[in-house]
Amino acid sequence: MQQAGQWYASLAHTEAFEQQYGVNPEARLMRADALRNTGQVEQARQAYLALLQGATTARARRGLGLLYASQGQYGQAVEQLDKARQLNPIDANVLSDLAYAHMLDGRLAAAQMPIMQASQLAPANARVQLNMALFWLASGNQAQASQLLRQLAQPQAKGALPMIDQTSLQTLQAQLTSVRDAVRLSLIHI
């Protein structure tokens, strides 16, 4: 359900799961993700904070980072995502999220290492690759960004769909505007 973006249904199912089987850290993490994605900010924050021990720590830190980023609190987002990266340094999603938070905070130089790592760790992950293209565009490297976007727009195998479509490109353009605005603001405050 979560992979399909059915966050409200996921909330109902995690509640039913806990009623039937008891408290489970994985189900609690799924519930926290669903709370975040349904705009229940404080409940999500509390749920993630309760999961900062044990096997769920890295994923809870990532969830907190994404929650802070959704609120425009990029400094706190970077802090949490960097802690998640330290706990799981080869998680391409965490690295990509960290790079994106840096970009939204106007810090392109800080975004370079994590986005390069994410891109190489997950060459078939469209979201990661789009963040790589975003970084290159924001950094003024139009040639590499264009080459990557052309590759992503081509099917990887006969009969396969391309990794990105027109909607992806429109989202990328909106993100680029946000990142460029953030970079401009960061230069003003220096």
Tens place of pLDDT for every residue, the chain, 190 residues?
666 677 788 888 888 878 888 778 888 998 899 999 999 999 999 999 999 998 999 999 999 999 999 999 999 999 999 999 999 999 999 999 999 999 999 999 999 999 999 999 999 999 999 999 999 999 999 999 999 999 999 888 888 888 888 999 999 999 999 999 999 998 887 6
Give residues with Cβ within 8 angstroms of 115, minimum separation 6.
Answer: 95, 96, 99, 100, 131, 132, 135
Q: How far apart are CA 150 and CA 10, in angstroms?
A: 35
* pLDDT confidence of residue 4: 67
Q: Rounded to two decimals, what is the model's pTM?
A: 0.90
